[in-house]
C-alpha cells in the first residue's frame, strides 16, 4: 500500500506549533498543518510561502482600468463620436467612473482566481479525507501531516517521530 503521509491531531494550537517545531528540528520539511482558523506564528515554508495575490490584483486592476479608458477613447473618439454641446469627444473626466469600476471588478476577479490557484482549489478529493477524524480540522482539531514525499521520510522511523510528539491520535494516510 502506498503511503501519502502520517497524520496526527493535537490538543490545541500551541501543541500543534510545538510538534511542528520539533519535527522541523529533526530536518523534516514537507509538513502540512490543518486548523479551524488561521494560525499565527507558523514557520516559513509551512505557512507563509508567498503567493502574489496582491500584485496580481494590482496588475489585473490596471489592465481593467486602463483598458476601459482605452475602449472608451476608441468608441467615443473613433467609433461613434457624438458632439454634445461642443464638449470634447475625449472627455476623460466622464470616462473615469466606468474605468474605476472595471478596475475594481478585474482586481477582485483576479484575486479570487489567484486565491483558488494558490490554495490548489477546487480539489474535491484529497487522501487525508480518508481518515475519519480529519473532519476535526473544520471543528476544533489541530492536525499535522508529515508527507511521505519528504526527503527524510522512512516508513517506520517517521511514524515513530510523529508518535513521539504524543499527539491525541495519529494514523497513516494512504494515497
Partner 1 sequence: MTDARITDTVTDIVLVRRAGRLWMASFGVALLLTLLLVASIVVLLVRGVGIWGIAMPVAWGFAITNYVWWIGIGMAGTFISAALFLTRQGWRAALNRHAEAMTVFALAVSGLFPVLHLGRPWFAYWLAPYPDRMGLWPQWRSALVWDFFAIGAYVVVSVLYFYTGLIPDLAAVRDRATTRGRQVFYGLLALGWRGEAHEWERHTTLTRMLAALAVPLVFSVHSMVALDFSEGLLPGWHSTIFPPFFVAGALFSGIAMVVVLSVPLRRAYALEAFITDEHFDKLGRLMLAAGWVVTYGYAAEVFTAYYGGDRYDIAMVQQRMTGAYAWLFWSTIACNSVAIQALWWRRVRLCRPALLAVSLLVLTGMWMERFMLIVTSLYRDYLPSSWGMFYPTVWDIAFLAGSIGLFALLFLVFARLLPVLSIAELRRRAAAVPEATP
Element (H, E) at 143: strand 142-147
Minimum distance from residue 75 beta carbon to partner 1 (Å): 4
**How many Cβ atoms from other residues are within 10 Å of residue 152's Cβ?**
14
Shortest Å, Cβ 156 to partner 1: 26
Closer to partner 1 at the Cβ: 43 or 157? Answer: 43
The smaller minimum CB distance to partner 1, of residues 6 and 34, is found at 34
- Rounded to an integer, what distance in angstroms lies between the CA atom of residue 9 and that of residue 119? 22
Work out how close the CB of 56 gets to partner 1 at its nearest, in angstroms, rounded to a whole number.
Answer: 10
How far is CA 39 from its chain centroid? 14
The Cα–Cα gap between 82 and 76 comes to 7
Q: How far apart are CA 149 and CA 53, in angstroms?
A: 27
The residue ranges that bind partner 1 (CB under 8 A) are: 13, 32-39, 42, 46-49, 51, 53-54, 57, 71-72, 75-76, 79-80, 82, 84, 87, 91, 94-95, 97-98, 100-102, 104-105, 107-109, 111-112, 114-116, 118-126, 128, 134-135, 137-140
Task: Please report how close the Cβ of residue 144 comes to partner 1 at its closest, in angstroms.
Answer: 10
- Residues 6, 158 contacting (CB under 8 angstroms): yes
Nearer to partner 1 (CB atom), residue 112 or residue 154: 112
Q: Which is nearer to partner 1, 11 or 155 (CB)?
A: 11
Q: Which is nearer to partner 1, 95 or 168 (CB)?
A: 95
Residue 65's Cβ-count burial label (10 Å; 0-12, 13-18, 19+) is: buried
CB 95 within 8 A of CB 72: yes
Amino acid at each position: 500500500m502506498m503511503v501519502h503521509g502520517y497524520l496526527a491531531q493535537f490538543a490545541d494550537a500551541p501543541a500543534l506549533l510545538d510538534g511542528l517545531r520539533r519535527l522541523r528540528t529533526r530536518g523534516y520539511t514537507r509538513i502540512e498543518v490543518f486548523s479551524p482558523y488561521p494560525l499565527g506564528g507558523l514557520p516559513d515554508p509551512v505557512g507563509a510561502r508567498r503567493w502574489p495575490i496582491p500584485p496580481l490584483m494590482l496588475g489585473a486592476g490596471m489592465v481593467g482600468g486602463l483598458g476601459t479608458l482605452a475602449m472608451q477613447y476608441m468608441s467615443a473618439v473613433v467609433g461613434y463620436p457624438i458632439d454634445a454641446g461642443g464638449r470634447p469627444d475625449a472627455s476623460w473626466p466622464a470616462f473615469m467612473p466606468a474605468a474605476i469600476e472595471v478596475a475594481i471588478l478585474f482586481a477582485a476577479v483576479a484575486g479570487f482566481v489567484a486565491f483558488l490557484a494558490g490554495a490548489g482549489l477546487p480539489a474535491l478529493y484529497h487522501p487525508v479525507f480518508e481518515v475519519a477524524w480529519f473532519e476535526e480540522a473544520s471543528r476544533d482539531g489541530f492536525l499535522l501531516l508529515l508527507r511521505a514525499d519528504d526527503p527524510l521520510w522512512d516508513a517506520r522511523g517517521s511514524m515513530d517521530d510523529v508518535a513521539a510528539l504524543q499527539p491525541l491520535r495519529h494514523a497513516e494516510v494512504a494515497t
